[in-house]
A = this chain, B = another copy of it.
Amino acid sequence: MSDDDRLYYWDYLGLDRLLDTQHLESEQAGRPAHDEMLFIVIHQAYELWFKQILWELEAVNTTMSQPHIAERELSQVVQRLERITEIQRVLLAQLPVLETMTPLDFLDFREFLVPASGFQSVQFRLIENKLGIDPDHRPLINQQPYTAVLSDRHAEQIKAAAEEPSLLSHVEHWLERTPFVQWGDFDFWSEYRTTVDAMLEREARIIRENPSLDEQGRAEQLAAHDSTVQTFATVFDRDRYEDLRGKRERQFSHEAFVAALLITLYRDEPAFQMPHRLLTALVDIDEGFTAWRQRHALMVHRMIGSKIGTGGTSGHRYLQKAAERNKAFRDLYDLATYCIPRHQLPELPPEVQQQLGFRFHTGSDETPAAGS
């Protein structure tokens, strides 16, 4: 192999091209602004990381789209989702760098950028779509759908992506296949419901019989308790559940929701450990993007005040709205509402517990403890 064929760091990373993609509009306009370089570089860094997040999401979606997912693949899915949350820490850490540019510095070149805008980040829209953000639920930009600010090529690309099954729907189908929701005589949902009903009844009795409460105090506590009862009713009553789903206040099918709860409550069983990590990673990712949108909104606010952004809309209000709405895994976020204390959990029948563990332990009590 000659010297010229040996891989060289600079060429491997395409640095000739990568480091030649920073062209200052302010320079071209004859009024070079030092800080425009930062503005370009930081947005490029974001786009590089978005590409990486898409790379991970696509791999995860490919795995999760299979009708049967081997356990050995699940661990890899979790690892990739956790990588995304680690990248999100970088996305957040980048914002203070941009804040070293003051509003006055930004004004040195802001006019040259109109009407280009971060709203036009195609990759970020793809990420949102691949996660499963509901397109009909998105906030408008200038009273128009979010694709209106994109080039035709990109708008089509985005729409096509929005029609593909998202991670949300893959996870839903995977959850629907969870074993042990019903297993022989064991019916998780009815056991769970019995436990919750007893718990709620006990709480009501305590309020009714509490001698230290006066009339008003008791009325207030009973009203609060009733609101808890109603909250549980929205999952016990299938019609009400489907009703909420129709209004998009729930996303998962009832089967998927029940399975997610089963995994959450019995997460220590070996067979549920990785599934539980997977659900946790999804909530982490939702939280990471929400935190980033919120912080981004604050940054935009202090950078351009309540002026209209280069894209023609008040950036920080849009971002704040998007932070509130654009969560893909709201159902998982909300699972905590339906958790019950571990010591009140219905115990799993021994045969179910055995199935949820590894075979090599169960042959006999004398079997030498394995990996353990």
Instruction: Please list the residues of chain A having a beta carbon within 8 angstroms of any beta carbon in chain B.
Output: 1-2, 6-10, 12-15, 17-23, 25, 31, 34, 37-38, 40-45, 47-49, 51-52, 55, 59, 67-76, 79, 82-83, 86-87, 89-90, 93-94, 96-97, 99-100, 102-104, 107-108, 110-123, 151, 154, 174, 177-180, 212, 224, 227-228, 231, 263-265, 267-275, 280, 283-284, 287, 290-291, 294-295, 298-299, 301-308, 312, 333-343, 354-362, 368-372
Contact = CB atoms under 8 A, between A and B. Distances in A.
Contact of A120 (B8, B41, B337, B371): B8
Contact of A265 (B21, B104, B117): B104
A337 B307 contact: yes
A72 B335 contact: no
Given A9-B118, A107-B342, A47 B76 contact: no
B52 A34 contact: no
Lowest 10 A-B CB distances belong to which pairs?
A305-B337, A14-B21, A179-B370, A68-B369, A9-B120, A305-B336, A103-B336, A71-B270, A93-B93, A83-B100
Given A18-B48, A174-B371, 14 more contacts: A7-B112, A7-B113, A12-B113, A13-B21, A13-B47, A15-B44, A34-B59, A37-B55, A69-B369, A90-B90, A93-B93, A177-B372, A271-B370, A291-B295
B270 A72 contact: yes
B23 A14 contact: yes
A246 B138 CA distance: 36
Nearest to A359: B359
B96 A86 contact: yes
Nearest to A3: B212
A252 to B, nearest CB: 15
Contacts of A68: 369, 372
Contacts of A123: 19
Contact of A13 (B43, B94, B227, B268): B43
Contacts of A41: 48-49, 51-52, 55
A212 to B, nearest CB: 5
A53 to B, nearest CB: 10
Nearest to A295: B291
Chain A interface, DSSP helix/strand/loop, else mixed: helix
A222 B248 CA distance: 38
A14 B40 CA distance: 10
A69 B174 CA distance: 30
B40 A13 contact: yes
Given A18-B21, A51-B19, A283-B302, A103 B360 contact: no
Nearest to A210: B1
Contact of A90 (B94, B174, B304, B340): B94
12 contacts: A7-B113, A9-B118, A17-B20, A19-B51, A41-B55, A68-B369, A71-B358, A83-B100, A89-B96, A90-B97, A179-B368, A291-B298
A26 to B, nearest CB: 11
A15 to B, nearest CB: 6
